[in-house]
Chain A
Amino acid sequence: MSESVVTNRAGLSPKAEQAKPQGTFSRWFIVSAGVILFTTGAAKVFSAWASSTHLGFTDPIIGIKFRTLILLVGLLEFLLSFACFLRSMRRFAYRSVLSISSAFLVYRIGLWWIGWQKPCACWGDLTAALHLSPEFSDNVMRLVLGYLVLGSVLSLRILSRVDSSSEQIDSATHQRYLSI
C-alpha cells in the first residue's frame, strides 16, 4: 500500500484547513495595501506637478531631483495598486508590495544613516493641503510602512504554507492515481 496524506472530504489536509482563515487575512491585506498604494501614489503624482521649491532639490540618496523621484515612485505605486486589486496578479502583488515597502524602509534607514533630518516627502504636498504637520504625516507613514512590510512578509509566509499544503495534496493525488 502506498503512503498517503490524510485528507478530508474537500481534499484539504489539516494544515491547509488551518491556513484557510489566514488566507483570508492575506486577501484583506493585499486589498488594503492596494488602497494605501493607490492613495500615496496618486498623492505623489499630483504633488510632482506642484511648484514647491523643495521638489527642485536633489534627493540625497538616489541623486535625482525630488520631483522626478516622486513622480517615478508615485507611478510605480499607482500601477502596483492595480495589481493588488486583480486576482490574477495577486502572487506578483504580494512580492511587489514586500519589495517596494522594504525598499522604502531601507531608504528611510539610509536617510537616517547619512544624517538627513527632514521628514520624508512620501505624501508629496497632500499633507499641506490637508493641514497636517510634516512630522505627523511622517509618523503616520512609518506606521503604514511597518504594516506593509510585516503584512507582506506574513502573507507570503501564509501563501507558502498553503502552497506546500496543496503540493502535498497534489503529490497525494498523484500517488493515489498511481496506486489505482
Chain B
Amino acid sequence: MNLTRKSRCLEVRSIVCFLLAQFWFLFSVAAAGKTEICVKGSFTLSNSNRTNTFNTVVFLTDHAWHIVSTNRATGDWSEIGFDGDSILSLVSGDASSSQSSDRFGAFGYAYSGEFLSPHAPDSARIFFPWMLHCLDRKFFLHNEKISLALPWTAARFSPGAYGYRWDIGYLDNANEIQTIRFVRDRGLDFADDEAELRRAGLDYPFSLPVRTIMLDALATRRATPDGFLCGVYEVEQWADSPLKRIPSKASLTVYVPNHPNLPTIRLGTYEWALNTIETNSDAKPRVLSAPVRTFVVDYRFQATNAVTKFNHAKYVLNAGDYFKPANDAALLAEAANWLENGPRYGLGKKRAVVVGVILGVLLFPFGIWLWREKQKRKGKVCRE
C-alpha cells in the first residue's frame, strides 16, 4: 500500500518536474530570441567602362531579413528589412534620383509583401543581395501567373520592367534558386496601353508628361522581340549555414536590346563573393528608424477602385522616427478620400482641348479670309 502511494507520489513529482522543465525551456527560448545568421560579403558591378564594389551585410532569421549595402566608391548606402508583413527601405539622400532635394538626408520606401519592386534604383544596388538571400521558391509557387517586375529597374514607373518571364532552376529540387533567365514573353503583355498603365505594380500616371515617358518605355518594351534574354542570374557555389544554404559565388548579367540587326548591349555584370557567415542565437528583432530627416513613399497604403488609384502615401520622418504603421488612420483616410475625390483615370481631355485649339487657330485666319472673300463677291454682284 505504502509502496503504491510512494510510487504514485514519485510519478506526480516526475510529471510536475517534466512540465516545469518544459516550461523553463520554452520560456528561455522565447527570452533568448531567434537564431540569426549574419552573412558578410561584397559584390562588384562591372561594365565596359568601370567596376564598382559594394559591401553587404545580411541578417537572416527564419521569418525576417535585414540587408545593408554600401557603395564603396561613393559612400551611398541602402538598408532594407522585412518584418514578416512588409518591406521597409531607407536610401541615402544623394542616391534618390526621383526626389532629390537638399531638405532630406534620406528617402524611405515601404512595400507590402516580401517581393522587392523598387520605386527608384538606388546606387547601393541593394536588389542584388536581396535576390541572393531572400528570393526562393515561395514567390513562384504563388505568383506563377503574375508578370513579376525586373528588380533592377525603377519598377513603379517603368512599364519596361514587366513582360519578362522568369525561367527558374532550383537547387536539387530544394527551395534555393540556382538560376534565373529573364526572357521577354509577349504573352505577358496586355493588348491595351491603358491596361498596362493600370498594372498593380505601377504608379498610375496622372500627369501627362509622366504618362508620355511611361508610354515611351512601354513602346520600347513592345518592340523588344519575343525570347530576348535581358538577364541571367546564376549561383555557382553554395555554403551551408544553420538556417539555409547561402550563395557563396553568384552573378547576374543584365542586357538591353540594341537597334535592329545590331548585337545586344551588356549593361553590366554583378558578381557576388561571400566572406563570412556568423551565427547569433540571441537575435532581437531589427526595426528600421530614420537616421536623418527622411521623405517616405509608402506603398502599403496603395488603394484602387474602378475609376482611380491612390498610388502611395507620402510623409516625412524626423531623425529617430519609425515608419508609420500600415493601419495609420490619417493615411488610410487620405487614401479613402483620394478614391472618392481624386483625379480619374485617363488624361485625354486636356490633350484633346490643346489639339483642338491648335487646329482652331491654324484654320481660323483662313476661315475669316474665305468668309470675307465671299462677302466681297456678294457685294460686287450686288453693285453690278
The reply to whether chain A is a binding partner of chain B is yes
Any B CB within 8 A of the CB of A62: yes
Q: How far is the CA of A98 from the CA of B362 in the complex (A)?
A: 8
Contact between B212 and A60 (Cβ–Cβ < 8 Å)? Answer: yes
Known contacts A58-B212, A113-B354, A114-B354; decide if A95 and B207 are in contact (CB<8 Å).
Answer: no
**Chain B residues, CB < 8 A from A49:** none
Any B CB within 8 A of the CB of A171: yes
Any A CB within 8 A of the CB of B208: yes
Q: How far is the CA of A1 from the CA of B119 in the complex (A)?
A: 88
A115 CB contact (under 8 Å) in B207, B351, B358, B361: B207
B362 CB contact (under 8 Å) in A100, A114, A117, A174: A100
Contact between A61 and B351 (Cβ–Cβ < 8 Å)? Answer: yes
**Chain A residues, CB < 8 A from B208:** 60, 114-116
Contact between A58 and B215 (Cβ–Cβ < 8 Å)? Answer: yes
B358 CB contact (under 8 Å) in A96, A106, A117: A106
Which 3 A-B pairs have CB atoms at the shortest separation, nearest pair first? Answer: A110-B354, A102-B361, A114-B208
Using a CB–CB distance below 8 Å, which chain A residues touch chain B?
56-63, 91, 95-96, 98-100, 102-103, 105-107, 109-110, 113-117, 156, 171, 174
Contact between A60 and B209 (Cβ–Cβ < 8 Å)? Answer: yes
Closest to B361 in A: A102
Q: How far is the CA of A61 from the CA of B208 in the complex (A)?
A: 9
Known contacts A57-B212, A58-B215, A99-B364; decide if A107 and B207 are in contact (CB<8 Å).
Answer: no
24 A–B pairs (Cβ distance < 8 Å), ordered by A:
A56-B216, A57-B212, A57-B213, A58-B219, A59-B212, A61-B355, A62-B355, A95-B365, A98-B365, A99-B363, A99-B364, A99-B365, A102-B361, A102-B362, A102-B365, A103-B362, A106-B357, A106-B361, A107-B358, A109-B354, A110-B350, A110-B353, A114-B207, A117-B209
Closest to A105 in B: B361
Report the interface size class on chain B. Answer: 20 to 34
Any A CB within 8 A of the CB of B5: no
Contact between B357 and A110 (Cβ–Cβ < 8 Å)? Answer: yes
Any A CB within 8 A of the CB of B145: no
Contact between B350 and A99 (Cβ–Cβ < 8 Å)? Answer: no
Contact between A95 and B366 (Cβ–Cβ < 8 Å)? Answer: yes
Contact between B358 and A110 (Cβ–Cβ < 8 Å)? Answer: yes
Contact between B361 and A99 (Cβ–Cβ < 8 Å)? Answer: yes
CB of A97 to closest CB in B, whole Å: 9
Any A CB within 8 A of the CB of B369: yes
Any A CB within 8 A of the CB of B383: yes
Contact between B216 and A58 (Cβ–Cβ < 8 Å)? Answer: yes
CB of B37 to closest CB in A, whole Å: 45
Please name 20 further chain A to chain B contacts, defined as beta carbons within 8 Å, in addition to the given A59-B212, A114-B351, A115-B207, sorted by A numbering: A56-B216, A57-B213, A60-B212, A60-B351, A61-B355, A62-B355, A95-B365, A95-B366, A99-B361, A99-B362, A99-B364, A106-B354, A107-B354, A110-B354, A114-B207, A115-B209, A116-B209, A156-B365, A171-B383, A174-B383
Contact between A114 and B209 (Cβ–Cβ < 8 Å)? Answer: yes
Q: How far is the CA of A115 from the CA of B366 in the complex (A)?
A: 31
Known contacts A57-B213, A58-B216; decide if A103 and B351 are in contact (CB<8 Å).
Answer: no
**Chain A residues, CB < 8 A from B215:** 58
Give per-residue flags for B339-380: 1 if the beta carbon is below 8 A from chain A beta carbons, else 0. 000000000001101110110011111100100000000000
B354 CB contact (under 8 Å) in A61, A100, A102: A61
Closest to A97 in B: B365
CB of A2 to closest CB in B, whole Å: 14
- Residues facing A in B180-239 (CB within 8 A) are 207-209, 211-213, 215-216, 219
CB of B158 to closest CB in A, whole Å: 14
CB of B60 to closest CB in A, whole Å: 42
